Each structure stands twice: as C-alpha cells, then as structure tokens.
Amino acid sequence: MTDLVLASSSPRRRDLLARIGVVPARVHAPAIDETPRAGEPPRAYALRLAEEKARAVPRTAGEAVLAGDTTIALGRRILPPADTEEVQRTLLRLLSGRRHHALSAVCVIAPDGHVRTRLADTIVAFKPLSPAEIDAYVACGEGLGKAGGYAIQGRAEAFVRFLQGSHSGVIGLPLFETRALLATAGVAFG
C-alpha cells in the first residue's frame, strides 16, 4: 500500500479526497513562487504550478505525492487570487455575465519517481452580477483568497448559469483525473 502525501494546505482538497475514499498519510504545504511567466498560457501555468508544488514536497520511500492547482482564466488572461476585497470586486466585475475557464491541474509523483499530470478544463458562465450582488458576496468573505475571487461550493454557485466540465475541479481538485492518477501510483481507495 502506498502512502500519500498531499502537497496542499487546502482543507477543500482534503475534503475532496475523502469523497473518493483517500486520506493522506500526511499533509505538507509547498512554498513556491506562483508568479506567471511572461507570455505563459493559462493551461501551461496551471500544469507547471501543480508539478512544482509536488516536487517541492519531500517524500520518503514508498510515498506518493499529490499536488493540484486551480487557475481561473478569462481568455488568455490568468486571474489572480482575491487577496483583498478590492481585488475580489474587480475579479467579480470581470467575470460578471461572461464565460471563463477553471483550469484544475493535478500532479502525482509515484513512489518510483514517475511524474504524471492531468488537467481538467471547466467552462463556467456567470450571470450578470449587479453591484449589490457583488458587494453582498464580498461581504460574506467566502471568496477572499480564492482563485477568481469566488468559491463555487458556496454562495457563488447561485451565480453560475452554465457549467461544462468538472465541478470538483472548480472547487480545487478534479476527482476523475485525480483518482486515475492515484490508481497508477498504487494509492488504495477506501
């Protein structure tokens, strides 16, 4: 049986793993520079970050490492996490009434050192948001610190008029892709 190290401090990722019967043996938050490179496309950015996070976590013999990254992209523009309420308001105004991509990359490093990655590209369309809706959502606090400034598993789900792809990927870990990668690394499911 292969022990799993989750390279993330996100409680959402632990909760999502529990949905497929996986409990990490340990959790280790990686410290990497998440600045996009000049001209880097959003898909390449998400995959690079997932792999860099996985490689940044020490592992011992017999351990597999799982890391993920969720990037919100509007066209070729990578949207930052909402680190302040003003940034969150700006992001929500940008997403209002438009489609965007939630790119959720997963990287698993198997016990033998083999690195595998997958990407779930989910199209999300928000309804047009009024200034009052944006203010109320920002005031609730759930989107602060989140990619794109919203948490789809909370109140923001009421903004979604269309979603094509992986709902769990928008939350932070695409379970279909994750399960496949973990199975190839020998991780058991409960």
* Residue 183: closest CA among 54, 19, 66: 66
Which residue is it, tokens 């890391």? 67
Q: Which of these is catalytic: 3, 33, 69, 112?
A: 69
Residue 80 has phi, psi (to 5 degrees) of -80, 165
d(C-alpha 160, C-alpha 147), whole Å: 16
Q: Please, are residues 4 and 187 in contact by the beta-carbon 8 Å criterion?
A: yes
d(C-alpha 108, C-alpha 8), whole Å: 13
- 3-state class (DSSP) for residue 43: helix
Q: Please, are residues 102 and 78 in contact by the beta-carbon 8 Å criterion?
A: no
69 is known as an active-site residue: yes
Q: Please, are residues 114 and 171 in contact by the beta-carbon 8 Å criterion?
A: no
Q: Strands 3-6 and 26-27, how do they pair? A: parallel
Active site residues: 69
